[in-house]
Amino acid sequence: MKKIAILGSTGSIGTQTLDIVRANGDIRVEAIAARANIDLLEKQIREFSPKIAGVWDEKKAAELKLRVADTATKVVAGKEGILEVSTAPKAEILVTGIVGMIGIEPTIAAIRAGKDIALANKETLVCAGHIIMPLAEDRGIRILPVDSEHSAIFQSLRGNKKNRIAKILLTASGGPFRKYSAKKLKTVTLEDALKHPNWSMGPKVTIDSSTMVNKGLEVIEAHWLFNVPSDRIQVVVQPKSIIHSMVEFEDGAVMAQLGVPDMKLPIQYALYYPKRRFLAGDRLDFWTMNEIELVKPDLKKFPGLGLAYHACEKGGSLPTVLNSANEIAVSAFLKKKIAWGGISKMIAEAMEQHENYGILKEPTVEEIFEIRNSTEAWMKEKYHL
Ligand code: MG
């Protein structure tokens, strides 16, 4: 029996992780946590009988505690509760299926407690890669990527530990606005941005995908996971999401992982690594697949991607500003307070302001959160959010 804990068990990654648990029957769910969806948490508690269930929202936690009083599951609340779930005694792997910088501290706590990480929280590496990667190495912890692109790179690197990576080719769908003109991009709505052509994901990642900031965060994530500088990470737009990413070696050989777009594959691969298991679902049909279109990303229409490259190159606290400004701007866009184009504009201005002020070289976790708060305060005042 493999034992796991899941952060974000009610979200897109969390529910698909539980589908895999259900389909395989040899994984035991020790602990789960979610932000506030206690209706689904209650169902999950009754189905999987975890020892611990955490709820970020303290009021909802109190309500859930009453609802599941007849079970053996211990309900915990708030940040402390989430940390308790991350370090659940018997769990061997923590699946970090939550969105945002909130994932940083639980991931560090889990590594310290000796858990491998099935990493689905980009922000952890974007903001704190310089803390997480050396810590994991020091403790002999595996960081198993769950992001489909990074899983593809990870799979393409199998058996190539000693070979030098010449280039990472990070594929991107290009999002729903790939073919839009600059003029049409000015009038896109929230509803338009929430429609992703290939992947079914949560709202934050879907919006990030429409601006290509998601790909930018993935460039920084790849930089940390595979120890490759950003100038050797090339984004390739491949609209149908068949090639999930590629690695070019120094002899020119390119290794890729292909498949139908289904997040269950990278999740299952991380959970059973290094073994592959049967996974139900569609298979690629090369007879009906007439072409794989590959195009260059348009940095003029999607400036967020270029900003992420810049943040990755400068490093230090700048990626935290990029990510914080994006979180704040996307949240304002989701509330229809700002236009779609405002997201990348705000990120650019927040980054410029921070660079003028001075980049912090190796920020501590505490400093990372201070920078997030000061970025938020600066944006609230400047844009009246
Ligand atoms: Mg991805």
Residue 378 has pLDDT above 70, yes or no: yes
Quote the ligand 1 centre to 151 CA distance (angstroms).
9
Contact criterion met (CB below 8 Å) for 172 and 236: yes
Quote the ligand 1 centre to 313 CA distance (angstroms).
20
R_g over Cα of the chain: 20
Q: Determine the pLDDT at residue 178.
A: 94
C-alpha distances in angstroms, 26 versus 31, 155, 272? Answer: 16, 23, 11
Is 292 domain-assigned? Answer: no
Strands 254-258 and 243-249 come out as: antiparallel
Quote the ligand 1 centre to 148 CA distance (angstroms).
5
Is 242 domain-assigned? Answer: yes
Task: Let me know whether 76 and 114 are in one domain.
Answer: yes
Quote the ligand 1 centre to 244 CA distance (angstroms).
9
Quote the ligand 1 centre to 377 CA distance (angstroms).
29
Please report which helix (H) or strand (E) contains residue 75, including its range.
strand 74-77
Quote the ligand 1 centre to 214 CA distance (angstroms).
7
Last residue of a domain, one of 120, 145, 170: 145
| Tens-digit pLDDT profile for residues 169-223 | 999 999 999 999 999 999 999 999 998 777 767 789 899 999 999 999 999 999 9
Quote the ligand 1 centre to 60 CA distance (angstroms).
31
Contact criterion met (CB below 8 Å) for 141 and 367: no
Distance CA 317, CA 127 (A): 7
Is 150 domain-assigned? Answer: no
Quote the ligand 1 centre to 321 CA distance (angstroms).
21
Residue 252 has pLDDT above 70, yes or no: yes
Quote the ligand 1 centre to 193 CA distance (angstroms).
16
Task: Let me know whether 137 and 209 are in one domain.
Answer: no
Q: Determine the pLDDT at residue 195.
A: 85
Q: Determine the pLDDT at residue 290.
A: 80
| Tens-digit pLDDT profile for residues 314-323 | 999 999 999 9
State the total domains in the chain: 3
Quote the ligand 1 centre to 235 CA distance (angstroms).
12
**What is the rounded average pLDDT for all residues in the chain?**
96
Is 270 domain-assigned? Answer: no
Question: Is the sign of the CA dihedral 268, 273, 275, 276 positive or negative?
Answer: positive
Task: Let me know whether 246 and 199 are in one domain.
Answer: yes
Last residue of a domain, one of 230, 260, 290: 260
Q: Determine the pLDDT at residue 198.
A: 75
Q: Determine the pLDDT at residue 151.
A: 98
Task: Let me know whether 49 and 127 are in one domain.
Answer: yes
| DSSP string over 81-93 | HHHHHHT-TT-SE
pLDDT, average across residues 305-316: 98
Task: Let me know whether 11 and 100 are in one domain.
Answer: yes
Q: Determine the pLDDT at residue 200.
A: 67
Q: Determine the pLDDT at residue 328.
A: 96
Task: Let me know whether 63 and 92 are in one domain.
Answer: yes
Q: Determine the pLDDT at residue 201.
A: 72
Q: Determine the pLDDT at residue 196.
A: 76
Cα angle 317, 321, 324; round to 5: 130
Quote the ligand 1 centre to 216 CA distance (angstroms).
10
CB within 8 A of 40, min separation 6: which ones? Answer: 9, 10, 15, 34
Quote the ligand 1 centre to 147 CA distance (angstroms).
5
Residues paired with 303 in a beta bridge:
none
pLDDT, average across residues 232-238: 97
Q: Determine the pLDDT at residue 237.
A: 97
Q: Determine the pLDDT at residue 306.
A: 98
Quote the ligand 1 centre to 233 CA distance (angstroms).
15
pLDDT-above-70 percentage for the chain? 100
The CATH number of whichever domain residue 311 belongs to comes to: 1.10.1740.10
Q: φ and ψ at 204, to 5 degrees?
A: -60, -50
Is 360 domain-assigned? Answer: yes
Q: Which amino acid appears at position 72 of this protein?
A: A
| Tens-digit pLDDT profile for residues 283-293 | 999 998 888 89
Contact criterion met (CB below 8 Å) for 210 and 247: no
Task: Let me know whether 6 and 85 are in one domain.
Answer: yes
Task: Let me know whether 311 and 368 are in one domain.
Answer: yes
Q: Which of 362, 167, 144 is nearest to 251 (CA)?
A: 167
Residue 65 has pLDDT above 90, yes or no: yes
Is 29 domain-assigned? Answer: yes
pLDDT, average across residues 311-315: 98
Q: Determine the pLDDT at residue 107.
A: 98
Task: Let me know whether 18 and 97 are in one domain.
Answer: yes
pLDDT, average across residues 306-331: 97
Residue 35 has pLDDT above 80, yes or no: yes
Q: Determine the pLDDT at residue 197.
A: 72
pLDDT, average across residues 75-80: 98
Last residue of a domain, one of 102, 118, 145: 145
Task: Let me know whether 96 and 126 are in one domain.
Answer: yes
Range of the domain at 355: 303-377
Residue 135 has pLDDT above 80, yes or no: yes
Task: Let me know whether 31 and 165 are in one domain.
Answer: no
Is 22 domain-assigned? Answer: yes
Task: Let me know whether 39 and 97 are in one domain.
Answer: yes
Is 276 domain-assigned? Answer: no
Could you tell me the two tokens for 333? 């866009």
Quote the ligand 1 centre to 4 CA distance (angstroms).
22
The CATH number of whichever domain residue 135 belongs to comes to: 3.40.50.720
